[in-house]
């Protein structure tokens, strides 16, 4: 029997409530300059200076799906741009491609010459709850992940097909996701490495994502004792996750599903000699779904440059300790102190 991470047990129904509570906590704390920095874009939108193009990339189940593409007009394009393909969070129930929490993130990487593509995807949990009452929401998770991942594949296929018009390099597509968006992105990489039917339907045989930035994400496999089996090495992955995440498991868990969080994934990928960087927050919770998009942009850039573009083989575990917890129920932002970092 596999070990269950007992200190990361959580109620499945809290997954959807938690993201809403997170946003409420951030808005209510708006008097803090640190929170205002985190929620950059609520009063000042840095994306207003960027060129924006909205494209219809797919129609699934009668739902039109769009992506917003951002470029920095001050960056001279001398060759095809790398792509940052972003999926928002919200428990497959709320959220949109116009994610306010990601504005500083988009602006930062656009200024580094990236084409930023922020996508819609189908919010199946919202649809499921509107159609059924007094039903266990857990049964909808497999379909929510599958639909979200299929939409991400469709967006990827669109970028590959239109790379000349968009002046982008389809060999340099880096996925990034927050919470449910990170879960979709991890499944996109895992299923692409396993060449599932869904991956083969959308992606060319030799295609491989260039990298992945996962903020509070994990892999969910059906069955309590389903092993995580990579058929091929994945692209380099950067994980941000809090040990006290109450919504997405930090380690390994086998209750309703077989769930593999970044603590387990880091160990496995390191043994596979697949480049990986795990930013591990001892006192962090699900706030790590959004917090890195303002506080850890430089680290993301190092990951993209070193592990992705330069293809360096690095296996990094950064363990962060802070004076105050990085938690949306704490007063962390009211009195922030620089974290101590341990790398092994």
Contact 177, 133 (CB under 8 A): no
Give me the domains of the chain, ranges plus CATH numbers.
6-343 (3.40.50.1820)
Distance CA 342, CA 344 (A): 7
Q: Which helix (H) or strand (E) holds 164?
A: helix 163-166
Q: Write the CB contacts of 155 (distance below 8 Å, at least 6 apart in sequence).
A: 57, 58, 65, 67, 85, 117, 119
Contact 326, 332 (CB under 8 A): yes
Which residue is listed with tokens 């990298």? 211
Which of 137, 117, 110, 114 has the alpha carbon at shortest distance from 126?
A: 137
Tens of pLDDT along 19-45? 444 443 443 333 233 333 444 444 468
Phi, psi of 22 (to 5 degrees): -60, -50
* 3 state DSSP class of 234: coil
Tens of pLDDT along 68-107? 999 999 999 888 999 999 999 999 999 999 999 999 999 9
What torsion do the CA atoms of 85, 253, 341, 41 make, to the nearest 10 degrees?
Answer: 40
Measured in residues, the chain has a length of: 344
- So what's the pLDDT on residue 327? 74
- So what's the pLDDT on residue 133? 56
The separation between the first and the last C-alpha atoms of the chain, rounded to the nearest angstrom, is 29
- So what's the pLDDT on residue 258? 94
Contact 113, 82 (CB under 8 A): yes
- So what's the pLDDT on residue 102? 96
Scored b (16 or more CB within 10 A) or e, 153-186 reads: bbbbbbbbeebeebebbbebbbbbbbbbbbbbbb
What is the reported pTM?
0.85
* 3 state DSSP class of 34: helix
CB atoms within 10 A of CB 205: 7
């Amino acid at each position: 029997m596999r070990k269950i991470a007992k200190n990361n047990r959580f109620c499945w129904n809290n997954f959807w409530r938690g993201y809403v509570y997170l946003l409420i906590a951030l808005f209510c704390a708006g008097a803090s300059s640190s929170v205002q920095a985190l929620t950059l874009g609520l009063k000042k939108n840095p994306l207003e200076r960027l060129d924006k193009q909205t494209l219809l990339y797919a129609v699934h189940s009668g739902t039109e799906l769009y992506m917003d593409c951002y470029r920095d007009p001050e960056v001279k394009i001398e060759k095809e741009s790398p792509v940052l393909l972003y999926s928002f969070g919200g428990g497959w129930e709320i959220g949109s491609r116009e994610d306010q929490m990601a504005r500083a993130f988009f602006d930062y990487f656009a200024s580094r010459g990236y084409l930023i593509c922020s996508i819609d995807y189908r919010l199946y949990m919202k649809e499921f709850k509107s159609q059924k009452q007094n039903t266990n929401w857990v049964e909808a998770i497999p379909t929510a992940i599958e639909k979200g991942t299929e939409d991400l594949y469709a967006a990827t296929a669109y970028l590959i097909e239109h790379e000349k018009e968009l002046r982008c390099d389809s060999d340099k597509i880096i996925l990034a996701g927050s919470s449910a968006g990170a879960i979709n992105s991890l499944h996109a990489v895992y299923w692409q490495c396993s060449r599932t039917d869904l991956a083969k339907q959308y992606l060319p045989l030799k295609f491989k994502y260039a990298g992945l930035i996962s903020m509070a994400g994990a892999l969910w496999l059906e069955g309590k004792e389903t092993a995580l089996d990579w058929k091929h090495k994945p692209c380099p992955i950067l994980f941000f996750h809090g040990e006290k995440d109450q919504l997405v498991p930090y380690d390994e868990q086998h209750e309703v599903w077989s769930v593999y969080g970044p603590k387990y994934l880091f160990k496995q990928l390191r043994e596979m000699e697949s480049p990986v960087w795990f930013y591990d927050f001892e006192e962090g919770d699900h706030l790590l779904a959004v917090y890195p998009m303002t506080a850890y942009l430089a680290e993301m850039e190092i990951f993209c440059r070193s592990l992705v573009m330069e293809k360096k083989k690095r296996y990094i575990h950064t363990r962060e300790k802070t004076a105050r917890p990085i938690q949306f129920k704490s007063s962390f932002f009211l009195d922030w102190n620089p974290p101590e970092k341990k790398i092994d």
